[in-house]
Amino acid sequence: MSKQLTAQPPANPIVMGKMGSAYGIRGWLKVFSSTEDAESIFDYQPWFIQRAGQWQQVELEAWKHHNQDLIIKVKGIDDRDAAARLTNAEILVNSDSLPELETGDYYWKDLMGCQVVTVEGYELGKVIDMMETGSNDVLVVKANLKDAFGVKERLIPFLNDQVIKNVDLTTGIIEVEWDPGF
């Protein structure tokens, strides 16, 4: 990787995917995308990875579909061994390069850590994860330690207007119409 120089870390890094196993003998790798549409990962450049505590900028030479997989060719990676050293490296980009969203749309990263409160004022807990179910996204909310209902975790569908009444990213509060007993 002599062509890969140590890079300045992205100002606001966000994980967009992960490098998979080496593919073939010419330095190609499988890539796993965390973007809604897998190919969208290529819209966000430059990519950064961390190796041995050092940030490196990754320059793509090419990418293509192979069966159900996406495979990539990184500049300066020309054999299977070099490609294998990138396996499991998380692909990060500067989140400032993400497009602005329409009102009512949110990046999952922005919802993480938000406090979830019912319209009646009951604190349900904090968002610790998100799940995609096909029909809608779901907030995974870790209940507060002294939850009156003894609930440890809640799954709350992210349905605007129906369940989600207000999202205030400035205060980090999501207001929901939800029964605390669930």
Contact in structure between 48 and 130 (CB atoms under 8 Å): no
Determine the Cα–Cα distance for residues 61 and 116; give it in Å rounded to an integer.
44
Contact in structure between 33 and 93 (CB atoms under 8 Å): no
Determine the Cα–Cα distance for residues 116 and 139; give it in Å rounded to an integer.
9
What digits encode the pLDDT tens for the residues 129-161?
988 887 889 999 999 888 888 889 999 999 999
Average confidence score pLDDT of the chain: 90
What digits encode the pLDDT tens for the residues 50-93?
888 889 999 999 999 999 899 999 999 999 999 999 999 999 99
What predicted TM-score, i.e. pTM, was given to this entire model? 0.66
Determine the Cα–Cα distance for residues 121 and 46; give it in Å rounded to an integer.
43
Determine the Cα–Cα distance for residues 147 and 180; give it in Å rounded to an integer.
9
Domains, in order of start, for the chain: 13-97 (2.40.30.60), 108-176 (2.30.30.240)
